[in-house]
Each structure stands twice: as C-alpha cells, then as structure tokens.
Chain A
Amino acid sequence: MPDKNAIEVRGVSKLFGMGEAQVAALDNVSVSIRENEFFTLLGPSGCGKTTLLRLIAGFDYPTDGQILLHGQDIAPLPPFKRPVNTVFQSYALFPHMTVAQNIAFGLEMLGKPRAEISARVAEMLRLVRMEALKDRRTSQISGGQQQRVALARALAPQPKVLLLDEPLSALDYKLRKEMQIELKRLQNETGITFIFVTHDQEEALTMSDRIAVMSSGKILQVGSPWDIYDRPAVRFVADFIGETNFLDADVISASDGRATVRLSSGAEIPATCPAGATPQGKVTIVVRPEHARMAAPNGASAQLGQIENVVYLGTDTHFHVRLDDGTPFIVRQQNSRDGNGHSFASAERVGIEFGQDVAQILKD
C-alpha cells in the first residue's frame, strides 16, 4: 500500500453549541498518523485532544473535514463499524461481567467462533498478566488491574488503531511509571498503532514516537519528542514542555535554518530557526535550563547576571539568575561528586555560557 498512514485527519473542525454560544473544540485540524506508531496528542485540558480522539473513535461526528483510516473515510461511520478500539479514561469496564467476559465482549459482538474467542481471551489475559483474576468481577480488582483489563479488552479484537484517552491519569505515580513501560511493550508486541491522549508532558516524552502539541483546538507542532523539546516552534510549545528561558534577540543573519542572533548583552550566538521560516529583526529565543552553564563572569559569557536564588533538588540544583537586562534566567546544573571546584552562592555575580546549538528561535 502506498499510503502508510494509519489515520489521516484532513481539515477537521468540530463546533459545539449553537449560535452565539458556539465554540470550536477543533479548528481546521490536519494531521497524519503513521502505521505502527506511538502517537501522542499532548495539551492542556480543553485543548481539543479528547474531542479529536472521540471523532476518530466515532462517538462524535466532525462538523467539517475528513478522517481517513488506511485511506478510507470513516467520519460518517458509527463507532461499531470502525476497526478502532478505545481505552477510556475511566476504563468503562462492564460492572456486570467478569474480567474474562469483559475481554470477550468485542469478539462476541464480531461473531467470532467460541473456540477462537476463548483462545484469544486467554492470550490477552497472558499478555496483560491477568490470568489469575479472570473470573473476578471488575469491582473486585485494583485500579492498575482494571487498567490492564481495559487494555486487554480493547486489544482483543485486534483493532487497526488503539485510542487511549488519558488512561494513566487515575493511577498513582509508581504504577503510572510501570504502566508507561507496559504500554510501550504492548505496542511493540502487538504492532498496533497507538494514539495516546495526555496532558502530562513527561508521559508524552517518554512513550511517544511522535507528539502533536495542541492548544485551543489547533495543532501547534508535530514532531519527535526530541523535536518538541529541543526545537519548539512556538512559545506555547516551549512553555508547555519542561522549563525554558525566553530571551529577546536580534537576528543578524539567517539562512538554511541557521541564524546568528545578538543578545541583550551584545554577545552574538548561533541559533536554529523553526522549520520553514526565515526569521528577521526582533525575535524570541529559547534556551533550556540544562543547556546553559554557570561560570565566572568574563568576556566569553553570553549573558551576565546575579544569582537570586539557589534551589537544591537532589539530582540537580537550579540557579535563578536575574540577567543585567532584568530577564529571569534559570540554569540547571547536575549535582556530581567529582566537583568542579566552585559552588555558586546567592547574590553572587555570574556569567552564563551556552553549549553548542542550544538556542532556538521561535515563530512568535
């Protein structure tokens, strides 16, 4: 098949409400999700990520646009005619059925023969390591176990695409970490395309092949976790994912995605441009706290400033610096035992140095 996209969303809009009160949950969204990909929709609550997932699942119908599954428009199909299954945020396990009956449900509805169903259910129970609890009621198992059952139930009919709506949000921190690895393993073993919705940037970075960052019904940037983190295209993406320093700068020259910018201190540093844009004039650049270093103030420093606060965080230390032009700047330094001789203290005057290729110019 020439078309290697599992899901293709073309110009999809979704309006809720009527007349004056009408709001666009999705505003002309287009995105392609490849086969066998772990794709994450990331954004704050209300950004439209769950709406997009529900449109793909078929619980809602788009106001405008197309949704293609392997090249076929599925937007008008009811959910029970789409080879797509969902893991719900609340799990939505059937309380009047056992664990095994829950997993068998989809297969029964597809009219599979009895022998095939029981074989497949056994396989799924093994896959999510729930064999021992197959005859339990869903109310008699823990949250983490319910999560596994919900996964097994959605995977049992071998969907083309698995949709996961913040499935880990109800779990505690440790269990969530375990399930992240578990999900990644399941995706590798089954080879099914996963579309994962979350507001947790860390979850998105650790699990995804690609991430789409959403805000106010629009997709702002699609890229690998590295792209999203190191090469944010717009301020929202840079701000939403991790901690970032924003600096004002003037573009001196730009070509082929690379530029030289002058900072407020007068220092000139290289910077990367956002994809498909040639910036000019005044711009904002971002530098991640861990990509900057503290040093004694001298001519080589990119910026000069005064330490306002030192926050010790175990694995590393955050230095809150007030730059000479008044901008706050955070430097994150790893705490190691080999010691580089000098430890910086509050109120001390410092220079800040940047590593290679750490400054990224934003579009806005």
Chain B
Amino acid sequence: MASAQESARIAERRDIRNRWLLSAPALIIILLAAIGPLFIMLAYSFMAKGDYGDVKFGQFSLDGWFSVFFQRDIFDDTISLADAHLTIFWRSVRLSLATTVVTLVLGFPTAYFIATRPQNKREIWLFLITIPFWTNLLIRTFAMQEVIRNEGILNTVLLTLGVIRSPIQILYTDTAIMFGMVYVYLPLMVLPLYAAMEKLDFRLVEAGYDLYAGRLQVLRRIIIPLVKPGIIAGSILVFIPSLGAYVTPRVLGGGKNLMLGNLIELQFGQGRNWPLGAAISITLMVVVMTALLIYVRSAARTGADNNG
C-alpha cells in the first residue's frame, strides 16, 4: 500500500513538472515579449528625453508624464491643459465607441444569420467572413480610400443618380476613420457573436414565441441575455484595437485627424519625445484596462440581476 501511494505521489510530481516544461515556451515568450517591454516603457516614461530621440539613461524626469496632460507656454511659461492631447484622446474614445456600436449593430444580424443556417452551410459563410483577412490591412485601407474619395465610386454613383449635386467630402474626416475601422474590425465582432449564438438553444426561442413573445421581445428577453458573453467579447475585441488604431486614421483621416495611435507614433518619430510617447502609451493602457474592468463588472452584475 505504502509503495503504491509513493509511486502515485511520484507520478503526480512528474505530471506537474511536465506541465511546467510544456508551458515554458509560452511563458518565456509572454515574459520576454509582453511584460518585459512594458517595464521598459514604464522606465522610459520616467526619464528625460534625448536630444535626437531616445532617452537620457539614468536621468529621472517627470516631464513626459507632465506633458501628457499639461503644456507649458513657450513664451511666458504658464501652464495650461494640453488641449491637443485631450482632443485626440476624446476623438479616439468617441470613434472607438461609435465603431463598436456600429459593428455590433451590423454584426449581430450577420452572426444570427450564419448561426441559423444548416450546419454544413455555416462553414461557407464563416469562410466568407474571414476573406478580408487575406489581404494586407494597408492595402484594404487604401482601397477604402478609392471608394470614398471625392472622385471615388461612392460619390460618382451618387452624382450619376442625382442624389447629390456635388461630391460629399468623406475622406479625411472622422466619419471616414469610423467607416474604415468598422470595415476592418467587423469580423472581430461577428466571430465571437457567432460562437455565442451557435451555442444558443433555438428551442428557447421557440418557447419564447410559444409564450406570446413577439420577435422583438424574443430578441430582447431571450436571445440578447443568452448571447451576452459574445456581445461582451466582440465589443472588447473591437473597442481595444480601435482605440489604438494607427493605419486607418493615418490613411483615411489624413494628417489632421489624429488618434492616440498616431499621437504615440508621432512622439517616437518626428516628435523625438520618447518619454512622452511612453507615458501616453501607458495612459492608454490604463484607460483601456479600467474601462474593461468597469464594463465586465457591470455586465456581470446585470447578468446576475437577470438571473435573480
């Protein structure tokens, strides 16, 4: 008996060791490629900026963090809020929220449509959803530019049809950025929504209809509460990359409608202010994490309320 226990214990220990060994590559990559650089960014944000970019090592400075929120007048040294940064910040949040809402509104019926197809047809539809991923993001964004520019397809068609008299300026506006982001991130909304809806027991939908719930009420009282995890996952997957989007606002927003991603890039590039770039990056991360935390908490709470 004792020997059996002993060998069981050895087997268990070996099992645990093997698990660590197997997950080691992933852990090392996470440590080196994700957490490590974060600490470097954090350290950089507290250093003085170098004259030609980079930082002055070992020189502690709060200038980076100071400039995230405030600016000092070049002439009289008065301190005021960094309007430009706040504007960019606000535009980022606004456009990301709008993108999330629009992709949700567009993605929900799409996912529902796919989930209600016969099993063998669903794979084809899912395959079609992933087709845009085959083309480089940059190329797709430039293609979008072709569609919405003043002499582009959209305006030409509208002009020919007589809907408008002169071309609408869409390119290089916030709307263009949002269009682009909706286009790019829509699959990220559809896929988790589909995953949740695929698990939905459609007999519950029938039960709803049977109990006198019309189509809207079935949607509101049965389908939405049951696919909520998918809605949350999709919203997170769209909101986060939208907030840090770089290519889309750069190409479709022109030079003037910056978003946070562009602002950060600017500091590391032409701005030669690495501490400020690092500080903005970390601010962005903290904001995203806080927003996520609040969202998930409140979603979980309303979920619990629904469940009594």
Contacts and interface: CB of A to CB of B under 8 A. Distances in A.
A152 to B, nearest CB: 12
A109 B212 contact: yes
B213 A80 contact: yes
Contacts of A95: 204, 226
A58 B308 contact: no
Given A88-B207, A94-B207, A96-B226, A157 B212 contact: yes
Given A88-B203, A90-B203, A109-B217, A96 B210 contact: no
A231 interface: no
B274 to A, nearest CB: 49
Nearest to B212: A109
B269 interface: no
Contacts of B209: 58-59, 78-80
Contacts of A88: 203, 206-207
Contacts of A84: 210
B212 A106 contact: yes
A92 B207 CA distance: 6
B152 interface: no
Contacts of B206: 59, 79, 86, 88, 92
A96 B210 CA distance: 18
Interface in B180-236: 201, 203-204, 206-214, 217, 221-222, 225-226
Interface in A207-242: none
Interface in B5-56: none
A101 interface: yes
Contacts of A31: none
A153 interface: yes
Question: Which of B210, B213, B306: most chain A CB closer than 10 A?
Answer: B210
Interface residues of A, number: 29
Given A90-B203, A92-B204, A96-B226, A101 B308 contact: yes
B135 interface: no
Q: Is the interface of B mostly helix, strand, loop or mixed?
A: helix
Nearest to A111: B212
Nearest to A89: B203
Question: Which of B211, B225, B307: most chain A CB closer than 10 A?
Answer: B211
A98 interface: yes
A254 interface: no
A92 B201 contact: yes
A97 B308 contact: yes
A162 to B, nearest CB: 11
A313 interface: no
Contacts of B211: 80, 85, 105-106, 109, 153-154, 157
Interface residues of B, number: 21
Contacts of B303: 96
A94 B308 CA distance: 12
Nearest to B218: A80
A94 B203 contact: no
Interface in A54-102: 57-59, 78-81, 84-86, 88, 90, 92-98, 101
Contacts of B210: 57-59, 79-80, 84-86, 154
Nearest to A104: B211
A348 interface: no
A84 B210 CA distance: 7
Given A96-B225, A101-B308, A137-B307, A80 B204 contact: no
Contacts of A105: 208, 211, 213, 221
A135 B307 CA distance: 10
B212 A98 contact: no
A110 interface: yes
Contacts of B226: 95-96
A135 B203 CA distance: 23
Interface string A268-287: 00000000000000000000
Contacts of A106: 211-212
Given A80-B214, A106-B212, A96 B307 contact: yes
Given A92-B206, A94-B204, A135 B308 contact: yes
Given A59-B206, A92-B204, A98 B308 contact: yes
B214 A98 contact: no
A223 B208 CA distance: 34
A90 B201 CA distance: 10
B31 to A, nearest CB: 39
A86 B217 contact: no
A101 B306 CA distance: 10
Given A105-B213, A106-B212, A137 B308 contact: yes
Contacts of B308: 97-98, 101, 135, 137
Given A80-B209, A80-B210, A106-B212, A97 B306 contact: yes
Given A59-B209, A97-B306, A98-B307, A92 B203 contact: yes
The 3 closest A-B pairs by CB, nearest first: A106-B211, A92-B207, A109-B212
Given A84-B210, A92-B204, 12 more contacts: A58-B210, A80-B214, A88-B206, A88-B207, A95-B226, A96-B226, A105-B208, A105-B211, A105-B221, A106-B212, A110-B212, A154-B210
18 contacts: A58-B209, A59-B206, A59-B209, A79-B210, A80-B213, A85-B210, A86-B207, A88-B203, A88-B206, A90-B201, A96-B226, A96-B307, A97-B307, A109-B212, A110-B212, A135-B308, A137-B308, A154-B210
